[in-house]
Amino acid sequence: MTSVRRALVSALAVALVAPIAITAQDLHPSRRPSPMGMARITLGDTYVRVVYNRPYKRNRDNIFGTKDSGALVPYGERWRTGANEAPEITVTGDVTVGGKPLPAGTYSLFTTPGPETWQVHFNSRLGLDGVGIFANDEFTPVDLAPTDVLVVPAPATELPEDKEVDQFTIEFEKTATGADMVLRWIRTEVRVPIAPA
């Protein structure tokens, strides 16, 4: 086989295999089934930002509920508050959350849902894959209780049927003292008050 012929065969092989390799490595956040989202607000001199992943309902009728009912997110269990990696919240100045102090910093954000009240966890462990770590194709849960910096209760309310939210959303809404960090999915809404310290 001549060197020109070998070069043509090699080029053809690369051209045929390259699209497969590119497709297999397409991990861009915008093309995930649960894409990334971001919410942010400025409260006085303090900037607050949450980066999280946004799952869809996808014909699931039992999102939050009891474990016995087969709920996707069972009451009383720590939830990564979205999909994929654990969300992270950054506050550039000291704040209060639900009236309790939270120092400036970056934290993983978890929740423990309940029928009427959720616990909202601000945790010092970062870079988590949900409530644990994926390594070598194996998931290892992490005991997060010792690294909780702050845990606050927040009321859970039911949205009217015509206000149902198909894709999980976190956003900030201004209040007289600061802002509410508002979590909404399907017909559940949770408001977490944040104010400059």
- Per residue of the chain (197 residues), what is the pLDDT tens digit? 566 666 655 555 555 554 444 444 455 555 667 889 999 999 999 999 999 999 999 888 889 999 999 999 999 999 999 999 999 999 999 999 999 999 999 999 999 999 999 999 999 999 999 999 988 889 999 999 999 999 999 999 999 999 999 999 999 999 999 999 999 999 999 999 999 99
Share in percent of the chain as helix, strand, coil (round to 5):
15, 50, 35
- Bridge partner residues of 156 (DSSP): 190
Q: Length of the chain, please? A: 197
- Which is nearest to 155 in space by CA: 190, 127, 122? 190
Q: Phi and psi (nearest 5°) for 82? A: 135, -140
Which two three-digit tokens encode residue 185?
Answer: 């999915």
- Which is nearest to 83 in space by CA: 135, 143, 154, 35? 35
